[in-house]
């Protein structure tokens, strides 16, 4: 008999456990993904921190701390993958603007600013407010900009 799996329900159920466990190690899970690929279930957890880099040891510690508890909550066989999101992964949620405050980012605009042709800027993320947008220090001319959230097509960490 084929078992029906509601992946959204499972994700909702396991998210608090994952968040609490990651926080014990000083990390924030910025993405939790429970998906079926090639007839196999995968639980992918992407960790980050504004204070430190994600190490392989930290991923292993989080994996060990979670696996027994997750096995009780997830009714199917699955593969658990815990990792960093990668150096230049596009932001997938607004909370990443808060987490990466003070870091170098690259922002791609939907529409260039009035009087300009450029749509991609590199600089430092100074602040974020979901209603106002991103306060940003642009490297090429040293200007501080306030970019409305509605005009941001994509953003990612910027590595020199």
CA distance 46 to 18: 11
CATH number for the segment(s) 95-157: 2.30.30.180
Q: What is the pLDDT of residues 47-65, one digit of tens each?
A: 988 778 889 999 999 999 9
Question: Which residue would you say has higher pLDDT here, 102 or 42?
Answer: 42
pLDDT at 159: 79
CA distance 26 to 53: 10
Could you tell me the strand order of the sheet in which 104-109 lies?
A: 144-147, 133-138, 120-129, 104-109, 152-157
Beta bridge partners, 78, equal 41
Q: Mean pLDDT throughout 104-118?
A: 88
CATH number for the segment(s) 7-83: 3.30.300.70
Q: Are 35 and 41 in contact (CB under 8 A)?
A: yes
CA distance 56 to 84: 9
CA distance 108 to 133: 14
pLDDT at 71: 93
pLDDT band at 106 (very low <50, low <70, confident <90, very high): very high
CA distance 32 to 42: 10
Q: Mean pLDDT throughout 72-99?
A: 89
Alpha-carbon Rg for the chain, nearest whole angstrom, is 19
SS3 121: strand
pLDDT at 1: 46
In which residue are the tokens 């008999």 written? 1
- CATH 3.30.300.70 residue window(s) in the chain: 7-83
What's the whole-model pTM score? 0.76
pLDDT at 160: 73
pLDDT at 11 > cutoff 70: yes
DSSP state of 150: G
- CATH 2.30.30.180 residue window(s) in the chain: 95-157
CA distance 80 to 98: 27
Q: Are 28 and 49 in contact (CB under 8 A)?
A: yes
CA distance 53 to 82: 14
């Amino acid at each position: 008999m084929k078992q029906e799996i509601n992946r959204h329900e499972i994700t909702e159920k396991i998210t608090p456990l994952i968040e609490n466990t990651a926080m014990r190690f000083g990390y924030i899970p910025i993405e939790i993904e429970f998906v079926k690929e090639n007839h196999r279930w995968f639980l992918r957890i992407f960790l980050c921190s504004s204070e430190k880099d994600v190490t392989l040891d930290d991923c292993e510690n989080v994996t060990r701390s979670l696996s027994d508890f997750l096995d009780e909550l997830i009714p199917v066989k699955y593969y658990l993958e815990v990792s960093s999101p990668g150096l230049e992964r596009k932001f997938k949620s607004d909370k990443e603007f808060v987490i990466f405050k003070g870091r170098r980012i690259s922002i791609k605009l939907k529409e260039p600013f009035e009087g300009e042709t450029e749509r991609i800027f590199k600089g430092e993320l100074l602040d974020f407010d979901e209603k106002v947008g991103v306060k940003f220090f642009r490297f090429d001319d040293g200007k501080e900009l306030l970019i409305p959230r509605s005009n941001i097509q994509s953003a990612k960490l910027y590595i020199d």
